[in-house]
Chain A
């Protein structure tokens, strides 16, 4: 991708972040923002900027970056443009973890951890099921194993919710619809490290994914250990997705859509696609969070709902283009 397009991506992200911090129930000016960041002036805007808006906007950006990159890498590795980061049963597994934690009334801080653990268990199960079916290297077998594990997870969730009290159900549903409303600096820091390492690893895999995307036989002929590289991409992608899920619940469509958009804009090699998808995904989720906050005051829309609402028309347009 040409240099100017990268600049555009970074610029878009910057604008999105600034807008995200400035706009909300209380309108802040640019001056407020600056004061808030450096810590001078009225305590109220500083508190709003530092404790409420910045953490959630940054968390949203990290979630979007992680999902965009993971989606791009998985689409390349599976040679399937409909692949997305929640593929390997991740959404189901994370939801099971979080729902069980909510329904059992565990301390609130444990819910994200439970979600993460649930996601990892689901991925491990998916890969086990795929291997038992004889095709861990075959993308279709892994995809189907993911569907199976996801379906199983859904049934567990239904059982858990059937026996839970009303507030637990509401809490569980809210988590599953995705939100960065409770973002804290600790979360931002942890996710930042996670996402940095994850995206770095995926970009490093970039050239290998390009070769992998040529086809398993051709890739093998070019010296790629197809099974190992594919597994590596799955695991890193899954970890990234699991990390975002534990921070913000289920935020759909980002990992599916952003790689398409980035490829349409001209990114061809996977190093470029993954990097651009990370930036574009970050901007998208920051904007979605902004919409979630201002669309229906005084309530907040779930983040996952907004990304889906944005995603569907985009996707329809894409389908028409492809057809």
Chain B
């Protein structure tokens, strides 16, 4: 649904390329994850998708149509983005906030219709956030806020949701809840594109993983193919092993400890 083809991005004033010929596909009903160390270009990828940063070369297509051909609002009706951080400056209610997700459809002039109200209701239902409806977004806990943000993204009514590090500040329980939610959304037919640090969780939930380093794609494919000890060690520049988790059977990354002033590994 979202296709990157040989995308090259460079930040103004920087000699290095932030993204170097990156190609990836995020298809419907699947969770696609982009992983990699800090500075590998993960967030840049999201920005390029939003249109915040111009492409030097390459193309990004949504459902076959190139991004250049559509307006921002049209794109926003097809793809919903949940950024890394969102600090609400004004205390809207959860209902008002989620309803803002319909903005790409309504613009400034049109009044909400039944279609819009239904989309909002569906969003609440899928993310199980109905109990929060009347609360102010400034009073939510971290986990609740993330779910509400997801609800807003679902309310946009597109076929793809892109999330940039959605579980960074969440505890394990809330983190799992979010991943389960993403799984459910994928089951509903959404193309979920996820940027995350959480290799182990990603390996359990994603069906497609793209490993970036220094703006280049180092490995791509099924989690089992990407979660290889030698590849990950090279990319993360840290000794580690990849095992199979006995409890759930998913590939699991285990970083190793290093004795000081010794290159030898325990």
A and B touch in the complex (CB under 8 A): yes
Would you give the 0/1 interface string for B83-112, flagging 1 where the beta carbon is closer than 8 Å to chain A?
101111111110011001101101111000
Minimal Cβ-Cβ distance residue in B for A214: B86
A206 at the interface (CB under 8 A from B): yes
Q: Given A204-B108, A221-B80 in contact, is the A268-B91 Cβ separation under 8 Å? A: yes
**Interface size in chain A (residues, C-beta < 8 A):** 24
B234 at the interface (CB under 8 A from A): no
Closest CB in chain B relative to A233 CB, distance in Å: 12
Could you tell me if A222 and B83 are in contact, using CB atoms closer than 8 angstroms?
no
Minimal Cβ-Cβ distance residue in A for B74: A223
B252 at the interface (CB under 8 A from A): no
Could you tell me if B89 and A79 are in contact, using CB atoms closer than 8 angstroms?
yes
Could you tell me if B93 and A268 are in contact, using CB atoms closer than 8 angstroms?
yes
Could you tell me if A223 and B92 are in contact, using CB atoms closer than 8 angstroms?
no
Would you give the 0/1 interface string for A118-161, flagging 1 where the beta carbon is closer than 8 Å to chain B?
00000000000000000000000000000000000000000000
Q: Given A215-B86, A217-B50 in contact, is the A205-B96 Cβ separation under 8 Å? A: no
Would you give the 0/1 interface string for B231-247, flagging 1 where the beta carbon is closer than 8 Å to chain A?
00000000000000000
Task: Summarize A's interface: helix, strand, loop or mixed.
Answer: helix
Could you tell me if A211 and B72 are in contact, using CB atoms closer than 8 angstroms?
no
Could you tell me if A207 and B86 are in contact, using CB atoms closer than 8 angstroms?
no
B52 at the interface (CB under 8 A from A): yes
Could you tell me if A211 and B89 are in contact, using CB atoms closer than 8 angstroms?
no
Residues in A whose Cβ lies below 8 Å from that of B50: 217, 220-221
Residues in B whose Cβ lies below 8 Å from that of A223: 71-77, 103-104
Residues in B whose Cβ lies below 8 Å from that of A206: 108
Interface residues on chain B, size class? 35 or more
Q: Given A76-B90, A205-B108 in contact, is the A222-B52 Cβ separation under 8 Å? A: no
Minimal Cβ-Cβ distance residue in B for A80: B89
Could you tell me if B93 and A211 are in contact, using CB atoms closer than 8 angstroms?
no
Closest CB in chain A relative to B139 CB, distance in Å: 13
Q: Which of B85, B91, B103 contacts A211 (CB 8 A)?
A: B103
Would you give the 0/1 interface string for B141-172, flagging 1 where the beta carbon is closer than 8 Å to chain A?
00000000000000010000000000000000
Residues in A whose Cβ lies below 8 Å from that of B71: 223
Minimal Cβ-Cβ distance residue in B for A204: B108
Could you tell me if B103 and A220 are in contact, using CB atoms closer than 8 angstroms?
no
Closest CB in chain A relative to B73 CB, distance in Å: 3
Cα distance, A268 to B137, chains bound together (Å):
11
Q: Which of B51, B73, B100 contacts A214 (CB 8 A)?
A: B100
Residues in B whose Cβ lies below 8 Å from that of A207: 100, 103, 106-108
A225 at the interface (CB under 8 A from B): yes
Cα distance, A224 to B101, chains bound together (Å):
12
Residues in A whose Cβ lies below 8 Å from that of B51: 220
Q: Given A211-B100, A269-B96 in contact, is the A220-B52 Cβ separation under 8 Å? A: yes
Could you tell me if B81 and A214 are in contact, using CB atoms closer than 8 angstroms?
no
Q: Which of B72, B73, B83, B91 contacts A218 (CB 8 A)?
A: B83
Cα distance, A220 to B49, chains bound together (Å):
10
Can you show 30 pairs from A to B with CB atoms below 8 A apart? A76-B90, A79-B89, A81-B89, A204-B108, A206-B108, A207-B103, A207-B106, A213-B89, A213-B90, A214-B89, A214-B97, A214-B100, A215-B86, A217-B50, A217-B81, A220-B50, A220-B51, A220-B72, A221-B76, A221-B81, A221-B82, A223-B71, A223-B74, A223-B75, A223-B77, A223-B104, A268-B93, A268-B96, A269-B92, A269-B96
- Given contacts A207-B103, A213-B88, list 17 more A-B pairs with CB under 8 A: A204-B108, A206-B108, A207-B106, A210-B96, A211-B100, A214-B88, A214-B97, A215-B85, A215-B87, A217-B52, A218-B83, A218-B86, A220-B50, A221-B82, A222-B156, A223-B103, A263-B90
Give the A-binding residues of B (Cβ under 8 A): 47, 50-52, 71-77, 79-83, 85-93, 96-97, 100-101, 103-104, 106-109, 156
